[in-house]
Amino acid sequence: MTKETDSREIALDILLEILERGGYSHIILRQALNKYQYLDKSERAFISRIAEGTVEYLLQIDYIIDSFSNTKVSKMKPVIRTILRMSVYQLIYMDRVPDSAVCNEAVKLAVKRKFTGLKGFVNGVLRNISRNKEGLSWPNDSVRYSMPAWIVSMWEESYGRETAVTMMESFLKNKKTTVRCNLAKASKEEIIQSLRNQGAEVSESGISEAVLCIEKYDYMEGLEAFQKGYIQVQDLSSSFVGEIADPKKGDYVIDVCGAPGGKSIHIADKLDGTGMVEVRDLSLLKINMVEENIRRCGYLNIRTKVQDALVTDPDSVEKADIVIADLPCSGLGIIGRKPDIKYRMTPDALESLAALQRNILTVAQAYVKPGGRLIFSTCTINRKENEENARWFLEQFPFDCISLKGKLGEKLDSAAANRDFIQLLPGIHPCDGFFIAAFQKR
Ligand SMILES: C[S@@+](CC[C@H](N)C(=O)[O-])C[C@H]1O[C@@H](n2cnc3c(N)ncnc32)[C@H](O)[C@@H]1O
């Protein structure tokens, strides 16, 4: 077997795990890349590109295969359909791989996985697609952007087609890793220098002082700045929660759904050794993730607690200066980083999540001191979970809305243009999709 076949076989196994066994793409890919650390950087990049790209373009890829194969994708053997899917991604989106190599490698993989009898079928379908790929066209936006039709309709209805298309195009673009600097630990210059010394390309976000974009690094865990707790992987959008929370020295902050701790650590950093942040989450497994991050960053003003956010903790009632409610949500704003979310979500799940958020908000609001604040955020783009829940909250509880207009600076002004809350939209704003509302208790 050649090196190319090996890489493709690794990609095949990753995709089988994600597409046939329901694994989460970012977890499966991370596990695989850790396992194959010994491969060189370019090989790992090739594997990631095939695996991520195939998931991103799945609906479009299946449409193409169904147009050229007598057996529909849904009727194929899982291994064969996965080989075809990842090969079609290479044919359509990876110019540097010659079509003949894609077809040959696909056939070799089918044989290696004991489907010798189907090698003619695999070869025939792929060569047919390769011959006709210049003339491909899409019947609708769902296939064009590989986005389930119900999500396309929902966004077109909420934001208009032009904005919906901009968002869907943005999801398909390459995403740089963004990190937020823990500025109480090291200066930005020191952090940039450390990253560059290890070969990473670093650019500033141009919007938030503390957020950097990094590329061409090998492993996050291998970066000195990460090991020393100087940086935390966090999108620009998520970093706004800490900025808007804007804690004062000595504040007591409860983060009711806090794992893995990104926003809490930001707030602990801002408190600069004072006050206390209590990070809560549902399970010990999740809390252990927070603990690991706290250990790495070395803050003493942050602690953890396993606590179901749906159950009132009587000791916390009216104790917190700030409550962070960064709630479980449909995650439609981060499809660019976790593309399988778009296939997992359903309209029913959206309804249940919106209801879950109301229940958590009901419990969490009680922890806020009079005069204290609650910051409600989600990483989704869905009016029911976001604006509708924020308005519902204001009707139910004795809180006033803190207007966020102008809070994120000129470049992001449109995110709060006609309302008091912030809805960030990928492609329109230079970050993931994200929602933030801030309330003050009377
Ligand atoms: C959006 S994530 C939080 C991300 C976190 N704020 C950060 O910045 O790293 C939502 C979290 O809510 C947690 N969660 C879900 N249901 C919960 C519940 N009933 N009680 C507490 N936490 C819950 C999930 O385990 C998940 O870690």
Answer whether residue 2 shows pLDDT above 70.
no
User: In the chain, what percentage of residues exceed pLDDT 70?
Assistant: 98
| Band of residue 406 on the pLDDT scale cut at 50, 70, 90 | confident
Total domain count, the chain:
3
Q: How many CA atoms lie within 13 A of 182 on its CB side?
A: 27
Stretch 240-266: mean pLDDT, rounded?
A: 97
Nearest CA to ligand 1 atom 6: 258
The position carrying tokens 């910051």 is: 375
The position carrying tokens 């995709």 is: 15
| Band of residue 41 on the pLDDT scale cut at 50, 70, 90 | confident
Final residue of a domain: which of 75, 108, 137?
Answer: 137
Residue-wise pLDDT for 424-440, tens only, equals 999 999 999 999 999 99
| Band of residue 174 on the pLDDT scale cut at 50, 70, 90 | confident
Q: Are residues 94 and 107 in the same domain?
A: yes
CA distance 176 to 129: 31
Q: Which atom of ligand 1 is nearest to the CA of 326?
A: 6
Nearest CA to ligand 1 atom 5: 258
Q: Are residues 286 and 195 in the same domain?
A: no
| Band of residue 4 on the pLDDT scale cut at 50, 70, 90 | low
Distance in Å, CA 292 to ligand 1 centroid: 16
Q: Which atom of ligand 1 is nearest to the CA of 328?
A: 10
Q: Are residues 216 and 240 in the same domain?
A: no
- Residue 167 inside a domain? The answer is no
Contact 300, 268 (CB under 8 A): no
Report the CATH number that the domain containing residue 104 is assigned in CATH. Answer: 1.10.940.10
Residue-wise pLDDT for 372-403, tens only, equals 999 999 999 999 999 999 999 999 999 999 99
Residue 432, marked binder: no
Instruction: Annotate the chain with three-state secondary structure.
Output: CCHHHHHHHHHHHHHHHHHHCCCCHHHHHHHHHHHCCCCCHHHHHHHHHHHHHHHHCHHHHHHHHHHHCCCCHHHCCHHHHHHHHHHHHHHHHCCCCCHHHHHHHHHHHHHHCCCHHHHHHHHHHHHHHHHHHHHCCCCCHHHHCCCCHHHHHHHHHHHCHHHHHHHHHHHCCCCCEEEEECCCCCCHHHHHHHHHHCCCEEEECCCCCCEEEEECCCCHHHCHHHHCCCEEECCHHHHHHHHHHCCCCCCEEEECCCCCCHHHHHHHHHHCCCCEEEEEECCHHHHHHHHHHHHHHCCCCEEEEECCCCCCCHHHCCCEEEEEEECCCCCHHHCCCCCCHHHHCCHHHHHHHHHHHHHHHHHHHHHEEEEEEEEEEECCCCCCCCHHHHHHHHHHCCEEEECCCCCCCHHHHHHHCCCCCEEECECCECCCCEEEEEEEEC
- Residue 32 inside a domain? The answer is yes
Domain that residue 307 falls in: 236-441
Pocket test of ligand 1: the residue of 281, 283, 378 to mutate, having most ligand atoms within 8 Å of its CB, is: 281
Contact 154, 386 (CB under 8 A): no
| Band of residue 413 on the pLDDT scale cut at 50, 70, 90 | confident
Distance in Å, CA 286 to ligand 1 centroid: 8
Distance in Å, CA 34 to ligand 1 centroid: 25
Stretch 111-139: mean pLDDT, rounded?
A: 97
Answer whether residue 1 shows pLDDT above 90.
no
Nearest CA to ligand 1 atom 2: 328
Distance in Å, CA 390 to ligand 1 centroid: 18
CA 364 to chain CA centroid, Å, is 25
Phi and psi based region of residue 262 (left: phi greater than 0; alpha: psi -120 to 50; beta: remaining): alpha
CA distance 257 to 135: 49
Q: Using CA atoms of 297, 301, 304, 309 in order, give the dihedral in degrees to the nearest 10.
A: -120
Q: Are residues 331 and 424 in the same domain?
A: yes
Residue 326, marked binder: yes
| Band of residue 409 on the pLDDT scale cut at 50, 70, 90 | confident
Phi and psi based region of residue 357 (left: phi greater than 0; alpha: psi -120 to 50; beta: remaining): alpha
> What is the pLDDT, as a whole number, of residue 164?
98
CA distance 203 to 220: 16
Q: Which atom of ligand 1 is nearest to the CA of 260?
A: 9
Residue 413, marked binder: no
- Residue 168 inside a domain? The answer is no
ipTM above 0.95, yes or no: yes
Ligand 1 pocket at CB < 6 A: 238, 257-263, 281-282, 286, 308-310, 326, 328
Q: Are residues 293 and 321 in the same domain?
A: yes
Distance in Å, CA 37 to ligand 1 centroid: 30
Residue-wise pLDDT for 201-220, tens only, equals 999 988 998 999 999 888 89
Output b/e per residue, 209-220; b: 16+ Cβ within 10 A. ebbbbbeebeeb
Phi, psi of 214 (to 5 degrees): -130, 145
- Residue 151 inside a domain? The answer is no
Nearest CA to ligand 1 atom 13: 257
Strand partners, 14: none
Q: Are residues 36 and 92 in the same domain?
A: yes
Residue-wise pLDDT for 280-339, tens only, equals 999 999 999 999 999 999 999 999 999 999 999 999 999 999 999 999 999 999 999 999
Q: Are residues 387 and 287 in the same domain?
A: yes
Answer whether residue 52 shows pLDDT above 80.
yes
- The answer for residues whose C-beta is within 8 angstroms of residue 391's C-beta and 6 or more apart is none
Final residue of a domain: which of 233, 251, 274?
Answer: 233
Report the CATH number that the domain containing residue 221 is assigned in CATH. Answer: 3.30.70.1170
User: pTM (2 decimals)?
Assistant: 0.94
Contact 424, 432 (CB under 8 A): yes
- Residue 100 inside a domain? The answer is yes
- Please report, for residues 163, 171, 308, 335, 421, the alpha-carbon distance to residue 432 in angstroms, rounded to integers and kept in the order given: 14, 9, 27, 8, 16
Stretch 144-159: mean pLDDT, rounded?
A: 98
Residue whose C-alpha is closest to residue 106's, from 95, 96, 94, 120: 120
The position carrying tokens 């806020």 is: 368
Residue-wise pLDDT for 66-104, tens only, equals 999 999 999 999 999 999 999 999 999 999 889 999 999
Report the CATH number that the domain containing residue 250 is assigned in CATH. Answer: 3.40.50.150
The position carrying tokens 């004072």 is: 274
Residue-wise pLDDT for 351-363, tens only, equals 999 999 999 999 9
Answer whether residue 416 shows pLDDT above 80.
no
Answer whether residue 417 shows pLDDT above 80.
no
- Please report, for residues 60, 277, 293, 305, the alpha-carbon distance to residue 309 in angstroms, rounded to integers and kept in the order given: 39, 16, 21, 11
- The answer for residues whose C-beta is within 8 angstroms of residue 364's C-beta and 6 or more apart is 254, 256, 309, 323, 325, 374
Residues identified as active-site? 379
> Residues, the chain, total?
442
Q: Which atom of ligand 1 is nearest to the CA of 377?
A: 1
Answer whether residue 341 shows pLDDT above 80.
yes
Stretch 38-50: mean pLDDT, rounded?
A: 91
- Residue 309 inside a domain? The answer is yes
- Residue 164 inside a domain? The answer is no
